[in-house]
């Protein structure tokens, strides 16, 4: 029988971060899950540690294989997974508390979907703020701001049908999310279910957030939206972002001094849109 959740952890020489991430999984009150650790041939002692931990955590499985980057590693982990729903927890990130899986399982029971993505909010350690996800997914929401993968539980078949495109260095998870939203492969469509559950304690400041990769991110964003949206709509959304001072808002959101106010206002705006729909 398949487990409810597959918690996927990809790593390469993760050090102490791996131990803390696994500890946060082990504390979950909901126990119908497996852990798949995809390791890219670490040499820092992590493999030996994982083999010892696996003796005490029978739900943990280790896949060792070379990969060409994080998205290739994530694809390999999905192939190894057996759960109905997949969740990626990076080394250095933790479940927000021990009740996360229990709350998400309850959300799924109350809002059943043939093919679904269930998502919530994250706590960002860099700014010490809760970052709210957009509760109303539409085309403009997809252009502007999709939930980060640390906030999302994916139906595994979505990731098997359309794996992360490894040619994207920073935005492969964004491209995959847009495919899920715009795909016509499922007659019943893909259902997006939001709840204010705090899913992850997110480390932040990672690979995609360096100055160099922010430029790559912008380039990949432009390419991906053209892939899924008509050009006229892309220009319309780009104009809206320019008029509403998107670069300034991004700076405010990333600044520890101003991020709290920004995220509170964003949450109020999201909730207002949720009520009026």
Beta-carbon-side half-sphere exposure of residue 220 (alpha carbons within 13 Å) = 20
CATH homologous superfamily for 5-276?
Spore Coat Polysaccharide Biosynthesis Protein SpsA; Chain A (3.90.550.10)
Predicted confidence (pLDDT) at residue 200 exceeds the cutoff of 60 = yes
Structural domain boundaries of the chain?
5-276
> Above 80 in pLDDT, residue 96?
yes
> Could you give the CA distance from residue 127 to residue 172 in angstroms, rounded to a whole number?
25
Residue 265 has pLDDT above 80, yes or no: no
Confidence of residue 240 (pLDDT cuts 50, 70, 90): confident
Lowest-pLDDT choice from 156-170, 210-224, 241-255: 241-255
Query: Can you give the length of the chain in residues?
Result: 277
Q: Which two tokens stand for residue 117?
A: 């993505």
Contact residues for 84 (Cβ-Cβ < 8 A; gap 6+): 2, 3, 4, 5, 155, 156
pLDDT in tens, 11-24: 999 999 999 999 99
pLDDT band at 186 (very low <50, low <70, confident <90, very high): confident
Do residues 163 and 88 lie in contact, with contact meaning Cβ atoms separated by under 8 Å?
Answer: no
Q: For residues 144 and 237, what is the distance between their CA atoms, to the nearest angstrom?
A: 8
| Spatial contact of 161 and 184, defined as CB atoms under 8 Å apart | no
The predicted-structure confidence for 49-65, as pLDDT tens digits, reads as follows: 999 999 989 999 999 99
β 191-202/94-95 pair status: antiparallel
Asked whether the beta carbons of 121 and 202 are under 8 A apart, the reply is no
**Three-class secondary structure of residue 172 per DSSP:** helix
- Say if residues 48 and 18 touch (Cβ distance below 8 Å): no
Q: What confidence tens digit (pLDDT) does each residue in 115-124 have?
A: 999 999 999 9
Q: What are phi and psi of 99, to 5 degrees?
A: -105, 5
Indicate if the alpha-carbon torsion angle 195, 269, 217, 211 is positive or negative.
negative
Residue 243 confidence class, pLDDT cut points 50, 70, 90: confident
């Amino acid at each position: 029988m398949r487990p409810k959740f597959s918690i996927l952890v990809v790593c390469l020489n993760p050090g102490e971060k791996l131990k803390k991430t696994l500890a946060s999984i082990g504390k979950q009150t909901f126990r119908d899950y497996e852990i798949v650790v995809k390791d890219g041939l670490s040499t820092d002692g992590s493999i030996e540690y994982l083999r010892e931990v696996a003796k005490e955590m029978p739900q943990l499985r280790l896949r060792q294989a070379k990969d060409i980057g994080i998205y290739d590693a994530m694809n390999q982990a999905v192939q190894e997974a057996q759960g109905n729903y997949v969740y990626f927890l990076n080394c250095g990130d933790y479940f927000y508390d021990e009740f996360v899986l229990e709350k998400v399982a309850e959300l799924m029971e109350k809002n059943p979907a043939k093919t679904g993505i269930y998502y919530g909010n994250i706590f960002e350690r860099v700014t010490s703020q809760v970052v709210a996800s957009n509760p109303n997914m539409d085309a403009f929401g997809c252009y502007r701001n999709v939930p980060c993968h640390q906030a999302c539980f994916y139906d595994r078949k979505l990731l098997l049908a359309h794996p992360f495109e490894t040619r994207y260095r920073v935005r492969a998870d964004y491209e995959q999310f847009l495919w899920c939203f715009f795909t016509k492969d499922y007659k019943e469509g893909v259902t997006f279910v939001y709840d204010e559950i705090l899913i992850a304690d997110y480390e932040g400041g990672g690979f995609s957030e360096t100055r160099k990769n922010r430029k790559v991110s912008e380039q990949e964003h432009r390419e991906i939206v053209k892939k899924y949206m008509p050009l006229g709509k892309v220009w319309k959304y780009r104009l809206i972002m320019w008029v509403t001072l998107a670069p300034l808002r991004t700076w405010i959101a990333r600044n520890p001094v101003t991020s709290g106010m920004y995220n509170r206002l964003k949450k109020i705006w999201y909730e207002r849109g949720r009520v009026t729909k």
